[in-house]
Chain A
Amino acid sequence: MLIRPFGFNEFWIIVMAAQWTIALSAIAFAGGGVGGLLIALARVSDAKWPRLLATGFIRVFQGTPLLMQLFLVFFGMNILGFAINPWIAAAVALTLHASAFLGEIWRGCIEAVPSGQREAATALGLRYFNRMRYIILPQASRIAVAPTVGFLVQLIKGTSLAAIIGFTELTRQGQIINNATFSPFMVFGTVAAVYFILCWPLSLLARRMEVKFSRSTTR
């Protein structure tokens, strides 16, 4: 195979591959948002079984490598009778992963809402759904914003592992270009720079909101 130089074209192909990283992150974040809310609610529930199941789910996903989770979904899809598809496998695995992590983060936020709020809502005759919808979750969500953005950074970085199961996002595109140009220093430098441009503003935003929040809550 001919080795071609690393030029603007190669650079641009790598930059454009970021769209798949963003798409995968967005899907996992949206899916994980729904899943995470369910996990968090189950985790703080008064019923024993949902609480235990949610705890187990979180333990397993936080106690095993994301790479293994990807492999298991990837090969597990085949067992369940689906054709192997890196796109779907990556989206499903990252969604489950994000559900567990967001579930644990949001559980902490829900529990951080003073218990008097809940008691007052109950005393006013609000049932579970309205109590959560109007009293607990709006207050918890304010606490949750900064750590959630922080987790989004972790999730974007996590999508790079989809490259290992063959989904062509930013990192995999870098590997492909590297195989053709053999200038790994430039290629992986570029790939790292694109991730940095995606993640750094979010990291700064998360830190800023954290500071702002802690200032607004200290009396």
Chain B
Amino acid sequence: MEVRLKSTEEFLYNFNFEPVLAGFDKLLIGALVTVQLSCAAMVIGLIVSILCAAGKTSRVAPLRWVIDAYIEIIRNTPFLVQIFFIFFGLPALGIRLSPNSAALVALVINFGAYGTEIIRAGIESIQKGQIEAGTALGLSKLKIFRYIIMKPALRTVYPALTSQFIYLMLTSSVVSAISADDLAAAGNDLQSATFASFEVYIVITAMYLVMSIGFSAVFSMIEKVAFRYPLSR
């Protein structure tokens, strides 16, 4: 292990943000791709989560086992390995994806596993009496699932879902490892073209911070509008 202290002359580092500013338009495009990727992954991932959470209440045991295995495998392996497996490993099975689509698929699969657990917790918070009341009123199974289970369940787990989404957006930086076109990858390109590594990454980190603060602001606005109706209790 070598820790070499440089002489004081070398120590004086001149920060140079000019190349970062010159390439800022590329970073903005990268940020846009990151937002698009995360939003698409969240919407599709949410559908996957709801389907899997519904599947976990199924009476067909093998279906529940498959969903459980999916959740455990995804939650106990790193996202980086998942994306390597999808991008490099799946072509062996004849499934060849572009970096951007591999990134989206990996993010959906990853978010789906965490989302399922969150939605399931929401479903479990619904009291049995509510569902029985729905049945007594003669509502169809689908209507019971939609209005009596999912609507209040989503409200209960909304905070958990939004923080999971922000985590997803931050995790999406890892897709730069397979050279997708996201913000972190735009940073890698700019960094290798300008050698202003620290400056590039500090700007990018700030951009991610702004995005996560922005998203949580948007989410709390949505919460105020979407859940304006009073709580049932």
- Residue pair B205, A185 in contact (C-beta under 8 Å): no
B136 within 8 A of A: no
Known: A87-B1, A196-B73. Is A81-B80 also a contact (CB below 8 A)?
no
- Residue pair A63, B76 in contact (C-beta under 8 Å): no
Give Cα distance in the complex from A191 to B89, angstroms. Answer: 12
Q: Which residue of B lies closest to A172 (CB)?
A: B80
- Residue pair A64, B93 in contact (C-beta under 8 Å): no
For window 1-59 of B, CB contacts with A under 8 Å fall at 1-6, 10-11, 13
For window 186-213 of B, CB contacts with A under 8 Å fall at 197-198, 201-202, 204-205, 208-209, 212-213
A157-171 to B contact mask, C-beta < 8 Å, 1/0: 110110110000001
Given the complex, which residues of A lie within 8 Å of B107, measured CB to CB?
none
Partner of B208 from the list A68, A76, A187 (CB cut-off 8 Å) is: A68
- Residue pair B2, A85 in contact (C-beta under 8 Å): yes
A47 within 8 A of B: no
- Residue pair B3, A157 in contact (C-beta under 8 Å): no
- Residue pair B76, A196 in contact (C-beta under 8 Å): yes
Partner of A72 from the list B79, B171, B205 (CB cut-off 8 Å) is: B205
Report the count of interface residues on B (CB-CB < 8 A): 45
Q: Which residue of B lies closest to A159 (CB)?
A: B78
Give Cα distance in the complex from A188 to B45, angstroms. Answer: 23
- Residue pair A65, B78 in contact (C-beta under 8 Å): no
- Residue pair B89, A68 in contact (C-beta under 8 Å): no
Known: A64-B212, A65-B170, A67-B173. Is A163-B198 also a contact (CB below 8 A)?
no
Partner of A68 from the list B1, B73, B173 (CB cut-off 8 Å) is: B173
- Residue pair A191, B81 in contact (C-beta under 8 Å): yes
B184 within 8 A of A: yes
A53 within 8 A of B: no
Given the complex, which residues of B lie within 8 Å of A72, measured CB to CB?
198, 201-202, 205
Q: Which residue of A lies closest to B3 (CB)?
A: A82
B133 within 8 A of A: no
For window 164-179 of B, CB contacts with A under 8 Å fall at 166, 170-171, 173-174, 176-177
Given the complex, which residues of A lie within 8 Å of B81, measured CB to CB?
160, 171, 174, 188, 191-192, 195
Q: Which residue of A lies closest to B73 (CB)?
A: A196
- Residue pair B184, A65 in contact (C-beta under 8 Å): yes
B49-87 to A contact mask, C-beta < 8 Å, 1/0: 000000000000000000000001101111111101100
Report the count of interface residues on A (CB-CB < 8 A): 44
Give Cα distance in the complex from A60 to B213, angstroms. Answer: 10
B92 within 8 A of A: yes
Give Cα distance in the complex from A161 to B201, angstroms. Answer: 16
B88 within 8 A of A: yes
Partner of A63 from the list B2, B5, B171, B213 (CB cut-off 8 Å) is: B213
Given the complex, which residues of B lie within 8 Å of A185, measured CB to CB?
85, 89-90, 92-93
Which A positions have Cβ atoms within 8 angstroms of B? Answer: 60, 63-69, 71-72, 75-76, 78-79, 81-83, 85, 87-88, 153, 157-158, 160-161, 163-164, 171, 174-175, 178, 183-185, 187-189, 191-192, 195-196, 199-200, 203
Q: Which 7 A-B pairs have the closest CB atoms?
A: A184-B88, A160-B78, A65-B173, A199-B76, A157-B78, A81-B6, A75-B197
